C-alpha cells in the first residue's frame, strides 16, 4: 500500500465533475418508474413457496431483521444535523486536529467501525437534491429539496463496515449481511455524531444520504474505485458498506492510497463477465455517461444502474455477484495478505486471476443447511 498525494481516480478526470442529483439514482428512479424496490420485496415473498436454498422464509426473515436498526435510525437521525443531548454549554478548548483525528478513529472503532478515514469535503460529491429513495426511508426532507452541507462543516469522517465473506458467497441468493452492515453504519454514524456534538461541535450523520460515499471514501484513504463501481479496500476488497459524518470538528485528513486497483481492474473483468444483467462494462474505460444515472467527465466503467435494479426485481432480492466474484474479495488472513501483494504491485495479474478461478474462489455457495424446515404455509385470514 502506498500513500499518495492525490486519489488515484484524479488522473482519469477529463473535465469538471458536476454534482449529481439524488433523484437520478437507480433506486430513486425505480421508485418513480414502477415502484421497483417494493416489487423486489414482493417477488422475494413469492420465492418463499419454492423453498429454494438461499431464498427461504428463514433467509428473508434474517435479511429484514438485519435492516431493523437501519430503518429506525434512518427515519429519525440520518441526513439531518444532530443536536446535543445534554451539553449545550461547553466546547472542547484548544482542539488539536492531529490528536482529535486519532480520538475520532478510536471512538469510531469502539462503536463498531472496521476502518475509518478522514477527508476534506469535495463539493462535487454532495448531491444537489434529495431523491425518492432516501426521502422515503429517512423522512429528513421532501423529494427535490436542495442539499447543502453547512460551509463550516468542511470535513467528512468515513467509516467502513465489513460484510461476511461466507454470507456474500450466497449471492444471488439472499445475502443478509448488506442489511446488518447498513444497521451498523446507521448506529456508528449517529453515535459518532452524538459524540461530536457533546464535544460542542456540529455533526451530520449519514449512510447513503447527502453524497457519494465511494468518492469520499477514496479521498479519505480507505480504498480505490473498482471496475464494479464499488470501493475496493485493502483488507476486505469490495465486501464493505459505508457510513459518514460531516462535521466542523478540526481534524487532520488522511492521505489517499494506491493499492494497485486501477491496473488490476484493467487486467481483470470477472465482475463484468459474471454480471447477470450485463450492467458492468467489459471493455475500456469511458468518460461518457450511459444516461442521467452516471456522472460524465471521468474515465471509468459506468454501470447501467437501471439494468442492475431490474435484475434485482426479477431475482427477488439484491445482488452481490460483482462483490462475490472479485479477486479482492478474500478472507483477511496471512495467506491472502501475501497473495494480495501480487495484485497491489501489479505482479502477473493475469496469473493471479487465473489461479483465483482455478481454485474456485468466487463461486456461489448453494448448499445451505437449515436447522428448521423452511417450508411455508399461508396465514389464515382468521388468525
Print pLDDT tens along the chain (383 aa). 999 999 999 999 999 999 999 999 999 999 999 999 999 999 999 999 999 999 999 999 999 999 999 999 999 999 999 999 999 999 999 999 999 999 999 999 999 999 999 999 999 999 999 999 999 999 999 999 999 999 999 999 999 999 999 999 999 999 999 999 999 999 999 999 999 999 999 999 999 999 999 999 999 999 999 999 999 999 999 999 999 999 999 999 999 999 999 999 999 999 999 999 999 999 999 999 999 999 999 999 999 999 999 999 999 999 999 999 999 999 999 999 999 999 999 999 999 999 999 999 999 999 899 999 999 999 988 76
All cell numbers assigned to 15: 473535465
Instruction: Answer whether the bond into residue 172 is a cis peptide, omega within 30°.
Output: yes
All cell numbers assigned to 299: 474515465
Would you say how long the chain is, in residues?
383
CA distance 192 to 95: 17
Q: Quote the pLDDT of residue 196.
A: 98
Residues 6+ apart with CB under 8 A from 10: none
Q: Quote the pLDDT of residue 383.
A: 67
Return the percent helix, strand and coil in the chain, to nearest 5. 40, 10, 50
CA distance 308 to 357: 24
Domain boundaries in the chain?
2-358
Amino acid at each position: 500500500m502506498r500513500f499518495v498525494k492525490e486519489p488515484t481516480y484524479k488522473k482519469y478526470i477529463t473535465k469538471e465533475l458536476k454534482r449529481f442529483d439524488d433523484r437520478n439514482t437507480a433506486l430513486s428512479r425505480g421508485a418513480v418508474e414502477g415502484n421497483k424496490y417494493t416489487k423486489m420485496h414482493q417477488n422475494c415473498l413469492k420465492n418463499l413457496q419454492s423453498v429454494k436454498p438461499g431464498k427461504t422464509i428463514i433467509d428473508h426473515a434474517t435479511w429484514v431483521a438485519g435492516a431493523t436498526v437501519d430503518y429506525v435510525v434512518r427515519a429519525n437521525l440520518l441526513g439531518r444535523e444532530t443536536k446535543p443531548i445534554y451539553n449545550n454549554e461547553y466546547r472542547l478548548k484548544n482542539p488539536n486536529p492531529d490528536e482529535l483525528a486519532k480520538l475520532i478513529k478510536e471512538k469510531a472503532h469502539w462503536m463498531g467501525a472496521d476502518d475509518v478515514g478522514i477527508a476534506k469535503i469535495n463539493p462535487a460529491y454532495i448531491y444537489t437534491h434529495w431523491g425518492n429513495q432516501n426521502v422515503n426511508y429517512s423522512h429528513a426532507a421532501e423529494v427535490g429539496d436542495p442539499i447543502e452541507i453547512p460551509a463550516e462543516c468542511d470535513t467528512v469522517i468515513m467509516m467502513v463496515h465489513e460484510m461476511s465473506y461466507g454470507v456474500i458467497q450466497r449471492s444471488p441468493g439472499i445475502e443478509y449481511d448488506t442489511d446488518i452492515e447498513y444497521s451498523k453504519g446507521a448506529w456508528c454514524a449517529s453515535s459518532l455524531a452524538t459524540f461530536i456534538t457533546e464535544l460542542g461541535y456540529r455533526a451530520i450523520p449519514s449512510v447513503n444520504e447527502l453524497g457519494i460515499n465511494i468518492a469520499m471514501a477514496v479521498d479519505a484513504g480507505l480504498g480505490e474505485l473498482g471496475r464494479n463501481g464499488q470501493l475496493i479496500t485493502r483488507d476486505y476488497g469490495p465486501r464493505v458498506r459505508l457510513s459518514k459524518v460531516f462535521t466542523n470538528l478540526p481534524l487532520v485528513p488522511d492521505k489517499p492510497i494506491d493499492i494497485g486497483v486501477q491496473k488490476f481492474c484493467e487486467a481483470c473483468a470477472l465482475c463484468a463477465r459474471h454480471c447477470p444483467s450485463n450492467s458492468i462494462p467489459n471493455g475500456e474505460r469511458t468518460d461518457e455517461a450511459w444516461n442521467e444515472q452516471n456522472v460524465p467527465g471521468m474515465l471509468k466503467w459506468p454501470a447501467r444502474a437501471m439494468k442492475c435494479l431490474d435484475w434485482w426485481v426479477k431475482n427477488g432480492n439484491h445482488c452481490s455477484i460483482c462483490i462475490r466474484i472479485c479477486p479482492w474479495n478474500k478472507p483477511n488472513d496471512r495467506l491472502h495478505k501475501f497473495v494480495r501483494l501480487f495484485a497491489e504491485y501489479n505482479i502477473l495479474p493475469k496469473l493471479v486471476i487465473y489461479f483465483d478461478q482455478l481454485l474456485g474462489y468466487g463461486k456461489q455457495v448453494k448448499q445451505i443447511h437449515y436447522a428448521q424446515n423452511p417450508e411455508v404455509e399461508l396465514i389464515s385470514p382468521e388468525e
